[in-house]
Structure 1
Amino acid sequence: MIWAAQRAAPVCRQSDLETTTFVSAQALAEEDGEKRVFLTFDDGPSATTETVLDVLKEKGVPATFFVVSADNNKDHLPLIKRAVEEGHQIALHSCTHSYKTIYASTTAFWADIKELRQRIEPYVDLETVHWLRFPGGSTNTVSHKYGGSSIMKNLVAQAGEKGYRYVDWNVCAEDAAGGHPSADDVYRNVVNGAEGKTVCVVLMHDTKATRKTTAEALPDIIDWFKEQGYRFCRIDELDRQV
């Protein structure tokens, strides 16, 4: 993905899962011996989302989409309805995904989320939408430039107060990184990141720029997790685990 000046690509760290959620899910997985993978897609919907949905349907696995409703997304918002009908989870990411705007203050962030909810309301029952992913992750530092060093700590606390749950990731496809990674690169990044993990929350992107990378790599990624014995889950399954 090509990021605009005010948008920073997420830094992918192996620890980037909200601590309580990750530890509890990991403990449960180790307790019953079951391996789980959560396929997640950020920054859609776009034309690529249709291809991603086709692959997921063919492979018979669920995913979670952390959606954006910026200008370049608005024509594709009806794909949210298709995703819901095919058994996938819709979660919140950002309306604008403009770091400068959303991280200017906590008020600005929640105004952005409110606008996002309004824009997706025609396509999904908002009563089912209570998970979110902070742009850049819950421990990002780029937000400090705009809202101060405590803004993420404050937003995390407020998310709980508002009834939201959030999740980051512990496996990154690096498909939004610079250098135009190939489909093979994306596949290797996911496989290498997942090695040795019982619970994998995989960060990918369903944007126009990833049509020839993530979308093409997705069938092989799914096949690899199946071969390794993982069960495919939606993020909201964590509601029953923590």
Structure 2
Amino acid sequence: MKLSAHRFRRNRTLLLSALLLALIAGFTAGAQPEFVGCSTQDLTPVPDTAAFSPAATAFAEAGSGSATEEPLPEKWVCLTFDDGPSKTTPDVLAALNTAGVHGTFFVVATDYNEKYLPLLTEAAAAGHQIALHSASHEYSDIYQSSDAYWEDIALLKERIAPYVDVESIRYLRFPGGSTNTVSRRYGGKGLMKQLKAEVEQKGLQWVDWNVCAEDAVGGHPSADTIYRNVVRETGQQTNCIVLMHDSASTRTTAEALPDIIQWYTDNGYTFLTVAEALPLS
């Protein structure tokens, strides 16, 4: 017996709904999708192609309560950029300079970005903060031991010394953040705790983040996606350190910057460098 058109459409809708519910049930009961963004999952040794672990309160533990001559504004944000300089850097600087905003650049000095290192001089002259990240950004090398880590930092300082005053740089960001777990593969479970203590003993300050743009994940997210990621992760937070990237593969970050800056401006945030927000005592 043939079904009427109305009954056919109704049955098809019920069937599709049942299939969707079954898929959802199987999905939630089975393996979960790989989380992309800033997760606490183990990192890969490939620089900036996987998620970085968040450290939502680590910057407070690292010294955000230091005394300052003037109190910080109620709402402030630091725009930070890892893994530059690169061919993307001029566009990032242009967006920041046009808006009159100073950023903080956690830089690398690899064989791949040597020709862009002179851009550090331009960035520093414009009032942006230069901070340390890594010479190689190879987790398997730098996290072999404490000695290996500090050798990497020494090499980084040597390579950028012609362009900035390295002796005045007091801030750094660990590749993968201070809560990363990938370092355990190479230097053992206690390595990061040791490195953080050594950083502080040397009068330096390590800096994490509590807002991640997720701009270095696979798939090359669009400028609009990066903007929405920043807005979503900021949420109701009033003090934000935003992790973005300044690498050759993250050009859409520069495209997103004007909208990101405008959003923070419209919502009453003051833009600070990390040194301004987290001054060393």
Q: Structure 2 counterpart of 1:24, which letter?
A: G
Where does residue 228 of structure 1 map in the other structure? 267
Residue 22 and residue 227 in structure 1: after superposition, are their counterparts in 2 closer, same or farther (change >3 A)?
A: farther
1:126-162 Cα distance to aligned partner (Å, 9 max, x none): 2320100000000100010011001100000011111
Q: Is 1:206 aligned to residue 246 of structure 2?
A: yes
Superposed, 1:14-29 pairs within 5 Å as 15=56, 17-21=58-62, 24=65
Q: Which runs of 4+ in 1 moved over 4 A?
A: none
Is the Cα contact below 8 Å between 2:46 and 2:138 reproduced in 1?
yes
Matched, 1:217 2:225: no
Give per-residue Cα distances to partners, 1:177-197, cap 9 Å, x unaligned.
122211111000001111201
Q: Given that residues 175 and 186 in structure 1 are in contact (C-alpha distance below 8 angstroms), is that contact kept between their aligned partners in structure 2?
A: yes
Unaligned runs of 5+ in 2: 1-42
Alpha carbons of 1:130 and 1:10: their partners in 2 closer, same or farther (altered >3 Å)?
farther
Q: Which amino acid letter does the alignment assign opposite residue 150 of structure 1?
A: G
Distance 1:16 1:45 in 2: 27
The amino acid of 1:209's aligned partner reads S
Question: How far does the alpha carbon of each residue in 1:13-64 deviate from its partner, in whole angstroms, 9 at most, with x for none?
Answer: 3625334247627x99xx8762100000000000101100011110000000
Change (3 A) 1:73 1:99: same
Matching of residue 178 in structure 1 with residue 218 in structure 2 = yes
User: Structure 1 residue 125: deviation in Å?
Assistant: 1.1
If asked which structure has higher relative contact order (CA below 8 Å, sep 6+), I would say 1
The TM-score, its normalising length taken from structure 1, stands at 0.91
Q: Which amino acid aligns with 2:52?
A: V
User: What is the rounded CA distance, in whole Å, between the counterparts of 1:125 and 1:32 in structure 2?
Assistant: 27
| Per-residue CA distance 1:81-125 (angstroms, 9 max, x = gap) | 000000000000000000000001110000000000011111111
Percent identity, please.
52
Q: Which of 66, 77, 82 is matched with 1:37 structurally?
A: 77
How far 1:215 moved relative to its partner?
0.8
Distance apart, 1:71 and its partner CA: 1.1
For structure 1, the 5+ residue unaligned runs are none
Please state how far the C-alpha of 1:73 moved relative to its aligned partner: 1.2
Q: Does 1:115 align with 2:158?
A: no
Aligned-residue RMSD, C-alpha: 2.1
In the other structure, the counterpart of 2:237 is 197
Q: How many residues align?
A: 236
Amino acid at match of 2:145: S
Q: Which structure has the bigger radius of gyration? A: 2
Q: Which one of 164, 167, 175 corresponds to residue 135 of structure 1?
A: 175
The question of whether the paired residues in 1 share the 8 Å contact of 2:110 and 2:136 is answered with yes
Match for 1:228: what amino acid? N
Within 2, Cα distance between the matches of 1:23 and 1:32? 10
Q: Is the 8 A contact 1:37 1:202 kept in 2?
A: yes
Q: 1:82–1:32: structure 2 CA closer, same or farther, 3 Å change rule?
A: closer
2:54 equivalent in structure 1: 13
Q: CA deviation at 1:163?
A: 1.7
